[in-house]
Amino acid sequence: MSPPGRPKGESFEREREGGPVDPPGRPEGESSEREPEGRLVAADALAAARRMLAGVRRLAVLTGAGMSAESGVPTFRDAHTGLWSRFDPMQLASPEGFRADPPLVWRWYAWRRELVAKARPNAGHLALAEAAAHFERLCVVTQNVDGLHQRAGSRDVIELHGSIVRSRCLAECGALFARPEELPAGEPPRCPRCGSWLRPDVVWFGERLDPEALAAAERACTEADALLVVGTSGLVYPAAGLPMQARRAGAPVVIVNPQPTEIDAVADAVVRAAAGAALPALLGGAGAV
């Protein structure tokens, strides 16, 4: 069950956080009370957002769990269910948890990989991939670990929290498997180079983001002419700081999310809609160029 103040559908982003801790002092409904009048009129917001994107040459797009949830990919919390609910998230998604019971963690990720494999990119993923041709650069910075942007056809993707599809050596010898079907046997398999365990190539609780990925994301957001923020609650840093960085660098920020987010105040336009509905309308046709 979701505790108050924490909309379902964002927990995937929290994969790397220090624990399943909710931010303090955020009672249900607080965000909507701060909602400025008029922002709920989706059509107006969409028109305003389209105007902001008109003439943009370099577009950065920050995506979060809401984007994946629309494709039916279970969020971290949703995946922490049924048989798995008796395990603490730290047992399933931390380096300590993995070292304590590698087969357990491996099986949880193998199951999630299967769910991801069955999911399909949604209209929002496809709209971003198709729109790339209309921009000098369209860089997707994602907090999602499911690879759906790439499967939709996006080429310029920065995965801040890694990828559930890839596996790498726990001892960091450099061994990397990008395709699950090519993994050696075992639960988990042994690294063919050094004999250590292979682990999912995701950022776990208590781990840092890849500094190169983060620096590339910051560059993409600060060099962009506009930043589009899709399906993210704005709770998880450092990703949640990117909209402010873009804003400071002079780029308008457009948020697409069905619910209020923690970063709405940073935005120049807020479109209250799902990505699958809003992105084709926002990026399709003449509005994108």
* Shortest spacing between CB 189 and Zn ion, in angstroms: 11
Single out the segment in contact with Zn ion by CB under 5 A; choices: 16-24, 115-123, 190-198, 243-251: 190-198
Single out the segment in contact with Zn ion by CB under 5 A; choices: 67-75, 80-88, 130-138, 195-203: 195-203
* Shortest spacing between CB 171 and Zn ion, in angstroms: 5
Hey, which residues between 161 and 180 contact Zn ion (CB under 5 A)? 169, 171, 173, 175
Exactly one of 193, 215, 248, 265 binds Zn ion (CB under 5 A); that residue is 193
Single out the segment in contact with Zn ion by CB under 5 A; choices: 10-18, 54-62, 89-97, 183-191: 183-191
Give the span between the Cα atoms of 237 and 234, in whole angstroms: 8
- Of 110 and 171, which CB lies nearer to Zn ion in the complex structure? 171
Q: Render the burial of 38-64: b for 16+ CB within 10 Å, e for the rest.
A: ebeebeebbbbbbebbeebebbbbbbb
Dihedral, 277, 53, 216, 65 alpha carbons, nearest 10: -20
Nearest C-alpha neighbor of 241 from the set 211, 221, 224: 221
Hey, which residues between 197 and 236 contact Zn ion (CB under 5 A)? none
191 binds Zn ion (CB under 5 A): yes
Exactly one of 194, 237, 250, 265 binds Zn ion (CB under 5 A); that residue is 194
* Shortest spacing between CB 108 and Zn ion, in angstroms: 21
140 binds Zn ion (CB under 5 A): no
| SS3 at position 254 | strand
Give the span between the Cα atoms of 161 and 142, in whole angstroms: 8
Nearest C-alpha neighbor of 172 from the set 156, 193, 157: 193
Nearest C-alpha neighbor of 201 from the set 230, 163, 172: 163
211: tokens are 């500094």
- Of 162 and 260, which CB lies nearer to Zn ion in the complex structure? 162
Catalytic residue positions? 161
* Shortest spacing between CB 190 and Zn ion, in angstroms: 8
Question: Which amino acid is located at 118 in the chain?
Answer: K
* Shortest spacing between CB 188 and Zn ion, in angstroms: 12
State the number of binding residues for Zn ion (CB under 5 A): 8
Nearest C-alpha neighbor of 116 from the set 55, 169, 57, 163: 163
- Of 57 and 99, which CB lies nearer to Zn ion in the complex structure? 99
Which residues contact Zn ion (rule: CB under 5 A)? 169, 171, 173, 175, 191, 193-194, 196
